[in-house]
Structure 1
Amino acid sequence: MRKPVIVVATTVSAALIAACQSGSDAATPTGSTGQPQPRSSAASTPTGSTGSSGSDAADSNPPGKPGVSYRAALSHPVKDSYYPKHGTPYLDTLHYGLDLDWRPRAKRLTGIATIRFRITTARDSVRFALGTPLHVSKVVLDGKRVSSTRSGNSVTIQTGPLTTNSRHTVAISYAGTPALTQEPAMRSDVQKDGFHIGRTGNTWTFQEPFGAFTWYPVNDQPSDKAYYDARLTAHRGQQGVFNGQLTSSVKTGDSTTNSFHLDKPASSYLTTVAFGRYTHQEVTGPHGLPVNYWYADRHSPMLPLIRKTPQMLSWIEKTLGPYPFASAGFLLVPGNSGMETQTLVTFSDQLSKPDLYETEGDVVHELIHQWFGDEITPTDWKDVWLNESLTMYLEYRYLIDRGYTTESKVYGRLQRGQDEVWRVMGGPPGAYRHDDFGDMNIYDCGALLLHNLEKAYGRAKLDAALKGWPATAKYGNSDRTKFAAYMSKALESKAGPYILHWLTAKTTPAPLPKQP
């Protein structure tokens, strides 16, 4: 997620810094436009084996990927320590096939979600999150119609006895007008999460830490990753857009049906969907990578900046290695935020100020997240700093490299008291306030930590460690304990205890001495 806009906090910060310590503070490729052009055949809904037990082999052949197993989507969901009411720990979703139809005039969404899932403990019912306004009309489990009940933002399916580790396929038909959910945050740009509906019937989503449930049945927690395919039908000149690569586009009268395939498993908060009068442009990035831009006429001021994506990816690859997915790109939407949705960054048009380096920093920030946050994702929301701190450190490196700022300006202000301000206002980065998700403490405090490690061990050694981190749980999940242990080994040091102390310290820890 992009950094929060600091408004009131800046006045408070100045006073707190003065109380802590005195000191000054400073701080294009081309391609065709028009209708989407398919690059490969349309994805199909997975069949796999139905019924009770099954192995990974039984779950082979995800859509559009013959011979590929669901093994990469096997997860170990947990009860989230920060937001335990969201997510179902016994449910391991493997694949979502979403067939959605959006009617902009009626502002009505009709959907069928076909979900392949694994049960981690024996039981006779399963629960998916689904927004209250969406009425469930039919549920079919393993080819047989079953009953379901609603309670708040959830639907419980009466499955009958399911054995541990068994695999099943459920198809849930639903319809309604999605409603947003309150985000547990104090920042102004993301007070509401989920499926946003614009004045003209256009739609878009932001949903970190949760909110996917506002538009499809889902296990809405970061520890459960799954494959995705989507078939989106839009009307009245609109087009539907989803993560991954467009596989087909069919126009019938005033309706357009676009199909998308996401090549690697994703957590639910990293999915995106939008309906609007979009133009699609595809260009070529590093190593022949397809880079997709989805935008409306109103987004033109942002285009010069997002068209720097191939160059930005090349810059990131110098430190982190090859881009980890089959496609990249940007989906431009209304609002005032940005989100690292997997393979297709969701970015607001109100940030369209290409002349300001802060906006360029936001763009490269979301691209860096494709490695830190998307390829490797926190198991629990207490470790959201793993996403933002590592990404913020590299964003500052980019801005310094481009001459927009200097190392002394960035880290001088943090070391002189701003780091401590963030800890006082929102809590330490690894123990932030539950009602203050996504504030600057999880960004800047951790960036200073990485800067201190760089000064202690050298940039080359730290870069090698950062490059290797996503591979420790490639396309999976991890946590602070594993990161600390990995860094101790990668840096051949006792960096781990320093990292763990940094995460929960109420005041700024002293920098590490330079290591031999």
Structure 2
Amino acid sequence: MQPSKHRRGRATVLAAATALGVVLTAVPATGATTVKDPYFPDDGNSGYDVTHYDVRIAYDPARADHLEGDTTVTARALRQLDRLSLDLKGFEVASVTVNGVPARSFSRSGAHKLLVEPAGRLARGAAFAVRVKYAGAPDAEGWHILASGGANAAGEPHSATSWYPANDHPSDKATFALTATVPDGWTVIGNGLPGPTTATGGRTTFRWKEDRPLATYVSTVAIDRFTVHRSRLPDGTPVITAYGPDVPVDTVVEDQQRDVLAFLASKFGPYPFSSAGAVVVGWSKDPAARALDLETQSRPTYTGGLFDSAVVHESAHQWFGNSASFTDWRDGCLAECFAQYANQLWEEHQGADLDTGFYRSLVEKHKDDPSFWATRLYDPGKGKEVDAALYFKGSLMLHALRRTVGDDAFFTTLGRWTGEHAYGNASFPQFEALAGRVSGKDLKGFFDAWVHGTTLPAQRYLYPGSLAAAR
């Protein structure tokens, strides 16, 4: 999605996706519908490219069922528009303006659509800004009330629309600014770098800004009585780590974040964002809620504490999933397979033998279990966007690919991938093509067996190169 080094136009992403067989919307000249993601056909809008979100919220943890929001979505029309839509779950919408002029109409449709008719037609290529004022109860899919009394927003594949209106599809990335007002004594953590903090009338306003485009599902806000630690990477990048009041402060793993990021940079290329760190929150107030670690951009979210394996995984996502993002939800392997394999690379860095200790033991454990191999890594199926297969079968696939093409070609491919698609979007078929070009090998059989297949790969793909000797 970057027209220059730092941002490609979404029109380019849509054209590339269409060439690769991604189904996108056929939109009338005077309107726009959804992106038609194969798994989430109601998500997003194909008629415009968001360039920036300015999200302003006010929240009092004493009134957990109420959030006030004032969000401006700045975008560029990709076609002539008489109407458009945003994704927003719940809330009462008080007003909508387009370029400062009240919308001719706005209404709700389906589970999460806010339909907007501007006062005047938007010309193709025109920049415009939609401002939405809203209030009500944040939706529990993405907004979590914490046992400590605080709250945080995180979730995959959806979370953003639980607290602000968005073009909620990973193909439309945008820069992001957060202004959040809370009662004195509470702290707000967000993506990117902090801005000025101001206090008046018993309330404090925090400001955060992410200057690199993000996919909406990796935006976040966390509100609690945080303990905040600050340090820097060797290159000066700020590291901000916030601990909720009911989680242990682990300075050992906290310090290890810097070593992990340096190691991953040696494998994947330079760290892609202007800040790093972690948001460590406590458990949800709902005992049935699932604990969540998520790669929220620049500052991953962890539940219950910091753990080295989680830090490696979520930090790797800053390259695979956050900077180089996928085109649609069929491409989840581009995030999860690589982040999981980063854990293996970290173990290898600490002295582990991946061929025997990881690869052979896991293959032998599951070789007679058809269910382990039954999920495709690309296009795994609706409801399997982040299936366990992407983590375990996926990390095996990447190690087998490494042994097939050799270390030089493998790590060159990873570096080129994160460099060529930095701050943009791409699909798994594009990764397959890049791996073939870099290695100079015909990898169709390999990817058919490992990525598109649903059974145990044939021996020549299961035990290539040195893996055969390690048996």
Deviation at 1:422, TM superposition (A): 7.5
Distance 1:158 1:165, change over 3 A: same
Picking from 448, 451, 462, the partner of 2:396 is 448
Matched, 1:339 2:294: yes
Mapped to 1, the partners of 2:347 and 2:301 lie a distance apart of 21
Mapped to 2, the partners of 1:100 and 1:84 lie a distance apart of 29
Residue type of the partner of 1:153? H
Deviation at 1:321, TM superposition (A): 2.1
Residue 140 of structure 1: aligned partner = 97
Distance 1:366 1:73, change over 3 A: farther
- Aligned partners of 1:316 and 1:368 also within 8 Å: yes
Which is worse superposed, 302-311 or 108-117?
Answer: 302-311
- Aligned partners of 1:72 and 1:265 also within 8 Å: no
CA offsets, 1:324-355, max 9 Å, x none?
Answer: 11111101113422111110111111x55xxx
- Aligned partners of 2:51 and 2:76 also within 8 Å: yes
Deviation at 1:220, TM superposition (A): 0.9
Mapped to 2, the partners of 1:102 and 1:370 lie a distance apart of 28
Matched, 1:87 2:49: no
Residue 313 of structure 1: aligned partner = 261
CA offsets, 1:402-450, max 9 Å, x none?
Answer: 2577541321233225377485586222232422332220111121111
Residue 56 of structure 2: aligned partner = 99
Residue type of the partner of 1:82? Y
Q: 1:161 aligns to what SS in structure 2?
A: coil
Matched, 1:514 2:471: no
Residue 168 of structure 1: aligned partner = 128
Deviation at 1:392, TM superposition (A): 1.4
RMSD: 2.4
Of the two structures, which has the highest relative contact order with CA contacts closer than 8 Å and spacing of 6 or more?
1
- Aligned partners of 2:370 and 2:455 also within 8 Å: no
Matched, 1:116 2:74: yes
Mapped to 2, the partners of 1:325 and 1:149 lie a distance apart of 37
Residue 373 of structure 1: aligned partner = 321
Residue type of the partner of 2:295? E
Q: 1:124 aligns to what SS in structure 2?
A: coil
Deviation at 1:391, TM superposition (A): 1.8
- Aligned partners of 1:110 and 1:174 also within 8 Å: yes
Q: 2:170 aligns to what SS in structure 1?
A: coil
Residue type of the partner of 1:130? L
Q: 2:454 aligns to what SS in structure 1?
A: coil
Residue type of the partner of 1:168? F
- Aligned partners of 2:6 and 2:423 also within 8 Å: no
TM alignment of 1:230-309, pairs within 5 A? 230-309=178-257
Normalising by structure 2, report the TM-score. Answer: 0.85
Q: 1:415 aligns to what SS in structure 2?
A: helix
- Aligned partners of 1:419 and 1:444 also within 8 Å: no
Mapped to 2, the partners of 1:311 and 1:481 lie a distance apart of 32
Structure 2's unaligned 5+ residue stretches are: 15-34, 284-290, 467-471
Matched, 1:348 2:334: no
Q: 1:329 aligns to what SS in structure 2?
A: strand
Normalising by structure 1, report the TM-score. Answer: 0.78
- Aligned partners of 1:480 and 1:500 also within 8 Å: no
Deviation at 1:376, TM superposition (A): 0.4
Q: 1:83 aligns to what SS in structure 2?
A: coil
Mapped to 2, the partners of 1:422 and 1:274 lie a distance apart of 41
- Aligned partners of 1:419 and 1:445 also within 8 Å: no
Q: 1:307 aligns to what SS in structure 2?
A: helix
Mapped to 2, the partners of 1:375 and 1:221 lie a distance apart of 15
Distance 1:345 1:240, change over 3 A: same
- Aligned partners of 2:243 and 2:249 also within 8 Å: no
Distance 1:334 1:426, change over 3 A: farther
TM alignment of 1:149-228, pairs within 5 A? 149-151=107-109, 152-159=111-118, 160-181=120-141, 194-199=142-147, 201-228=149-176
Deviation at 1:167, TM superposition (A): 1.7
Residue type of the partner of 2:114? V
Residue 339 of structure 2: aligned partner = 391
Mapped to 1, the partners of 2:178 and 2:336 lie a distance apart of 28
Q: 2:360 aligns to what SS in structure 1?
A: helix
CA offsets, 1:8-66, max 9 Å, x none?
Answer: xxxxxxxxxxxxxxxxxxxxxxxxxxxxxxxxxxxxxxxxxxxxxxxx99xxxxxxxxx
Picking from 374, 383, 386, the partner of 1:438 is 386
- Aligned partners of 1:368 and 1:391 also within 8 Å: yes
- Aligned partners of 1:178 and 1:195 also within 8 Å: yes
Mapped to 1, the partners of 2:424 and 2:281 lie a distance apart of 28
CA offsets, 1:345-367, max 9 Å, x none?
Answer: 11111x55xxxxxx311111111
Residue type of the partner of 2:130? V
Mapped to 2, the partners of 1:435 and 1:342 lie a distance apart of 23
Mapped to 1, the partners of 2:127 and 2:371 lie a distance apart of 44
Distance 1:216 1:237, change over 3 A: same
Which is worse superposed, 464-473 or 375-384?
Answer: 464-473
Mapped to 1, the partners of 2:84 and 2:174 lie a distance apart of 17
Corresponding residue pairs, total: 430
Which is worse superposed, 201-210 or 238-247?
Answer: 201-210
Picking from 408, 420, 428, the partner of 1:472 is 420
- Aligned partners of 2:7 and 2:423 also within 8 Å: no
CA offsets, 1:153-199, max 9 Å, x none?
Answer: 22111114222232211111111111223xxxxxxxxxxxx111234
